[in-house]
Amino acid sequence: MKQKVLITGASGFIGLHLVDAALDAGLDVYTGIRKTSNIAQFSEYSITHTYPDYGDLESLEKELELRQYDYIIHAAGVTKARSEALYNSINGEYTFNLVRAAVNAKISLQKIVLISSLASIGPLNEANSCITGDTLPQPVTAYGRSKLLAELKLKESGIPWIILRPTAVYGPGEKDIFLVFKMISRGVEAYIGKGEQKLSFVYVKDLARVAVKALFAPASREDYNITDGHAYSRYALADTIKAYLNKKSLRFHLPYTAVKGVAAVMEKLYERFNRTAVVNREKLLELTGANWTCDISKARRELGFSPEYDLKNGVKETIDWYKQQRWL
């Protein structure tokens, strides 16, 4: 019989790729989604949809017992929210409830993999080093703090866990970094401030593959920072997009304070529609972080992580997908 995996947040950008990777690994896939989730992409998939209520511990426990999962990949979460309380509730408390239910339920769960974020550690202020397993967490945003909270809740539990902290994830289906692709296709290349930045990226398929590998790896109760292993300048993404699109662009640097002012106005506007702006004052702290580069040797060694994509082939595949979907 196939082993069962619950993938929460399966309807999201990363979730779809997690489902693909889990199916490739021969797992019986159960999505954890909402009644309102868009699941059109799964119309041809042989998977089972479930609707966990993370706010109701008892029903969560029953659901886990009913399904008898072998593994869980917890990717449900918010990357944009209107308040710290909302971030903590969805990213922190929901994780806590899922973990508590998994502990209480009569199931023999072999592992839970949490898709956390490098934002739970935060960017470094200086350029001459990189984030390692020993870097003290200093998240600069409410989002980062809520992901750190989720990590702590998981670490306190008795179940076998792995925490993955991906840096900025891009690839087919991504909608935020997509704005950079779109700007450049229109000949515009805007930056916030003039400071130097060292950035990192990971292609979504590499992240999905390592998340599934982590389920089967002997390693347990360990956390891993996940990037494609390269350190990029702040211009590298744009340069790679331009090269593949064969486009020229007008590069300019907006003053940080001006962007912060615009972000404040955007926040107010979006608030009216109950939505969160992609560029908000919080996100600016991450977007302008000086150094997001990482040492991924622990993931290479213990999870067999071997990124197949760098920006060059990842951006190419992403642009092909955006074009196919007529997003570009």
Ligand X SMILES: NC(=O)c1ccc[n+]([C@@H]2O[C@H](COP(=O)([O-])OP(=O)(O)OC[C@H]3O[C@@H](n4cnc5c(N)ncnc54)[C@H](OP(=O)(O)O)[C@@H]3O)[C@@H](O)[C@H]2O)c1
Kindly list the residues in this chain that would bind ligand X in the complex (CB under 6 A).
9, 11-15, 33-34, 36-37, 54, 75-79, 90, 115, 117, 147, 166, 168-169
Q: Tell me the closest approach of the beta carbon of residue 174 to ligand X, in angstroms.
A: 7
Cβ distance to ligand X smaller for residue 14 or 27: 14
Cβ distance to ligand X smaller for residue 253 or 275: 275
Q: Tell me the closest approach of the beta carbon of residue 54 to ligand X, in angstroms.
A: 6
Amino acid at 310: D
**Which 8-state DSSP code applies to residue 37?**
-
Residue 50: enclosing H or E segment and its boundaries? strand 48-50
Q: Tell me the closest approach of the beta carbon of residue 228 to ligand X, in angstroms.
A: 13
Phi, psi of 316 (to 5 degrees): -60, -50
Cβ distance to ligand X smaller for residue 128 or 274: 274
Helices (H), the chain: 13-24, 57-67, 84-87, 94-104, 142-156, 178-185, 204-216, 236-245, 256-272, 281-287, 297-303, 311-324
Cβ distance to ligand X smaller for residue 115 or 328: 115
- How far apart, in whole angstroms, are the C-alpha atoms of residue 171 and residue 144? 22
Q: Tell me the closest approach of the beta carbon of residue 266 to ligand X, in angstroms.
A: 18
The closest of 55, 61, 56, 52 to 31, measured between CA atoms, is 52
Cβ distance to ligand X smaller for residue 146 or 185: 146
Cβ distance to ligand X smaller for residue 5 or 169: 169
Amino acid at 97: N
Q: Tell me the closest approach of the beta carbon of residue 248 to ligand X, in angstroms.
A: 28
- How far apart, in whole angstroms, are the C-alpha atoms of residue 241 and residue 244? 5
Cβ distance to ligand X smaller for residue 13 or 30: 13
- How far apart, in whole angstroms, are the C-alpha atoms of residue 42 and residue 12? 12
Phi, psi of 17 (to 5 degrees): -70, -30
- How far apart, in whole angstroms, are the C-alpha atoms of residue 280 and residue 95? 25
Q: Which tokens in the block code for residue 315?
A: 């951006």
Amino acid at 171: G
Q: Tell me the closest approach of the beta carbon of residue 141 to ligand X, in angstroms.
A: 11
Residue nearest to ligand X (CB): 12
Cβ distance to ligand X smaller for residue 75 or 199: 75
Q: Tell me the closest approach of the beta carbon of residue 31 to ligand X, in angstroms.
A: 8
Amino acid at 208: A
Give 280-295 as a 3 state SS string: CHHHHHHHCCCECCEC
Q: Is 211 exposed, middle or buried (0-12, 13-18, 19+ CB in 10 A)?
A: buried
Q: Tell me the closest approach of the beta carbon of residue 110 to ligand X, in angstroms.
A: 21
Cβ distance to ligand X smaller for residue 166 or 307: 166
Q: Tell me the closest approach of the beta carbon of residue 89 to ligand X, in angstroms.
A: 8
